[in-house]
Amino acid sequence: MPFPLFMRRVARWTSLAFAVVMVSLAAGVCGYHYLDGLPWVDSLLNASMILGGMGPVDPLKTTAGKIFASVYALYSGLALIAVVGIMLTPILHRVMHQFHMTYKE
């Protein structure tokens, strides 16, 4: 039995949210590795912690690494809001239809 339309929309938007998180994590890992010289595993840990809202683990040594960490932390906060919005989109769309809400452009 095929998925109902609502479940396909949820799966599509969840896939998009996952892709945003993965691209953000990859950018963070590469930034920490190339700009501050951290090993790959430590770069992954730092990027994951900042993207998750916890904060950095390793002290940063270079000025470029510190600037990157600052910009990445600001981006991560906005990315978190965007990912939540992306994941709530099909649910809110369904709620609007449930109450027969319309919008005017």
Output the domain CATH number for residue 58.
1.10.287.70
Write the pLDDT tens digit of every residue in 30-65: 999 999 999 999 999 999 999 988 888 999 999 999
* Mean pLDDT estimate for the chain: 88
Residue 33 belongs to some domain of the structure: yes
In a domain, 105, yes or no: no
Looking at the domain assignment, is residue 104 inside a domain?
no
Confidence of residue 3 (pLDDT cuts 50, 70, 90): low
pLDDT of residue 2: 62
Answer with the residue of higher pLDDT: 4 or 69: 69
- Residue-wise pLDDT tens digits, 77-88: 999 898 998 888
Alpha helices, DSSP H, located in the chain: 5-36, 40-51, 63-98
Q: Evaluate whether residue 74 is within a structural domain.
A: yes
Please state the φ and ψ torsions of residue 66, each to the nearest 5 degrees: -70, -40
Domain span at residue 27 reads: 5-98
DSSP assignment letter at 59: P
In a domain, 85, yes or no: yes
Residue 16 belongs to a domain? yes
- Tally the domains of the chain: 1
pLDDT given for residue 6 in this prediction: 77
On the question of pLDDT at 17 being above 60, the answer is: yes
Instruction: Specify the pLDDT at position 103.
Output: 65
Is position 86 within any domain? yes
Q: How far apart are CA 104 and CA 9, in angstroms?
A: 22
Q: Tell me, yes or no, whether 80 lies in a domain.
A: yes
